[in-house]
């Protein structure tokens, strides 16, 4: 029994010694990081983007999706009615000339748009 107690005391002392060594090494590493001239290359992960940047990116993504859908719908209508690209270009130029279409914006086309304009 006395042997076990002595062994237990040595074990606890060993644990404390190892903890102190680890604590000292950690403190030394922190000091080195805080030095102004350190040259450690610590990865910090991807840059954090602001909420405004994320909203702007989402807005741009939606605009691109609207343009893509408009292009697909326009192509489908051209095929359905047999219009050439030249005729469609002339129609767009006519709409722009009369102020019915701003070239900076893409019209939002849905299935019900043609029915609601009649």
**DSSP string spanning 74-110?**
HHHHHHHHT--HHHHHHHHHHHHHTTS--TTSPPP--
pLDDT at position 113, please? 47
Cα(32)–Cα(45) distance, integer angstroms: 21
pLDDT at position 106, please? 64
Q: What pTM, to 2 d.p., does this model score?
A: 0.43
DSSP state of 118: -
CA-nearest of 36, 113, 42, 33 to 73 is: 113
Helix pair angle (51-81, 85-97), 10° resolution: 120
Cα–chain center distance at 20: 44
Backbone angles phi, psi at 107, to 5 degrees: -60, 145
pLDDT at position 22, please? 94
Segments in the chain below pLDDT 50: 1, 113-118
Cα–chain center distance at 70: 25
List the domain boundaries for the chain: 1-33, 61-108
């Amino acid at each position: 029994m006395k042997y076990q107690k002595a062994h237990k005391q040595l074990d606890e002392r060993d644990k404390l010694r190892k903890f102190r060594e680890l604590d000292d090494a950690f403190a030394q590493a922190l000091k080195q990081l805080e030095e102004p001239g350190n040259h450690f290359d610590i990865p910090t992960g991807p840059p954090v983007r602001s909420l405004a940047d994320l909203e702007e990116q989402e807005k741009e993504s939606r605009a691109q999706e609207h343009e893509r859908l408009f292009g697909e719908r326009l192509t489908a209508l051209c095929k359905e009615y047999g219009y050439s690209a030249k005729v469609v270009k002339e129609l767009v130029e006519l709409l722009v000339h009369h102020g019915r279409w701003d070239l900076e914006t893409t019209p939002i086309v849905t299935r019900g748009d043609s029915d609601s304009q009649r």
